[in-house]
Amino acid sequence: NYSLNQDTLIFLKNEKGQYISPFHDVPIYADKDVFHMVVEVPRWSNAKTEIATKDPFNPIKQDVKKGKPRCIWDYGAIPQTWEDPGHNDKHTGCCGDNDPIDVCEIGSKVCARGEIISVKVLGILAMIDEGETDWKVIAINVDDPDAANYNDINDVKRLKPGYLEATVDWFRRYKVPDGKPENQFAFNAEFKDKDFAINIIKSTHDHWRALVTKKTDGKGISCMNTTVFESPFKCDPDAAKAIVDALPPPCESACTVPTDVDKWFHHQKN
């Protein structure tokens, strides 16, 4: 059971009302081969909100520099994972993007920002974003009415024809309105299956464990947590509260979603 401290920064609390990190303290697994997902951007939302990896206890906050076209899935991250920027991925030839691994949840419910849901992994897309590996996991909420019908990536192809193609197209072009080039993909932009995806997730979990146990230098990432027993960054709940309470309030610009995130952009394909 988790609750949100709703403000311009969204901090997560446990059932006792104590601050925890959505990056480090929410367990990766909800069940066998079922993963937790932290929802950062609800479906159809433009505002770019994400886990702040460099802030103490990693609140979800508005990125004032970026808007996105409207997401066609609930978008978020799997906790206790990390795409290590010092690790060259053998599949893409590029290093990680320094964030938790991303998830696109394809079910019918629009989730809330900061919500923790349990998802079945179905497959994965290997995106290369400005020279960095940025895996995109495809998953479905276990509580979705159709979840039983989805067990691997081929089920998405069969039951949602065109949806995966639309997902690739979205990720290929979403930075073009900012004047950036189209993103590239490994495997010829083909989605890999569930088993492949779970192996990638497990490898990013290993990289996260090295990060929070100080076997890897996070270079500015906040690893403060309240639950990872072998971590030198672990602190007790009272210390966590003192750290969060002492943070300066967000600047005014962080409270306001820029109006340009609601502009539409037509990309003319040459």
Could you list the pLDDT tens digit for every one of the 270 residues in the chain? 655 554 578 899 999 999 999 999 999 999 988 999 999 999 988 777 899 999 999 999 876 555 566 789 999 999 999 999 999 999 999 999 999 999 999 999 999 999 999 999 999 999 998 899 999 999 999 999 999 999 999 999 999 999 999 999 999 988 887 788 899 999 999 999 999 999 999 999 999 999 999 999 999 999 999 999 999 999 999 999 999 999 876 655 444 544 444 444 334 444
Q: Which of 136, 137, 127 is nearest to 184 (CA)?
A: 127
Six token digits for residue 100: 């938790």
Separation between Cα atoms, residue 215 and residue 172, nearest integer Å: 34
Separation between Cα atoms, residue 152 and residue 192, nearest integer Å: 10
Separation between Cα atoms, residue 5 and residue 201, nearest integer Å: 28
Instruction: Tell me, rounded to whole angstroms, the distance of Cα 181 from its chain centroid.
Output: 22
- First-to-final CA distance of the chain: 50
What would the DSSP string read from start to end of 140-167?
EETTSTTGGG--SHHHHHHHSTTHHHHH
Six token digits for residue 15: 């059932």
DSSP secondary-structure letter at 75? E
pLDDT digits (tens, 9 = 90+) for 175-201: 887 788 899 999 999 999 999 999 999
Q: CA triplet 161, 167, 172: central angle to 5 degrees?
A: 140
Which H or E run includes 32? Answer: none
At 109, the amino acid letter reads: K
Q: Tabulate helix, strand, coil % of the chain (nearest 5).
A: 25, 25, 50
Q: Which of 197, 185, 186, 110 is nearest to 156 (CA)?
A: 197
CA atoms within 13 A on the CB side of 262: 4
Over its C-alpha atoms, the chain yields an Rg (Å, rounded) of 18
Which pTM does this prediction carry? 0.90
263: Cβ contacts below 8 Å, ≥ 6 apart: 67
Q: Could you tell me the domains of the chain?
A: 9-262 (3.90.80.10)
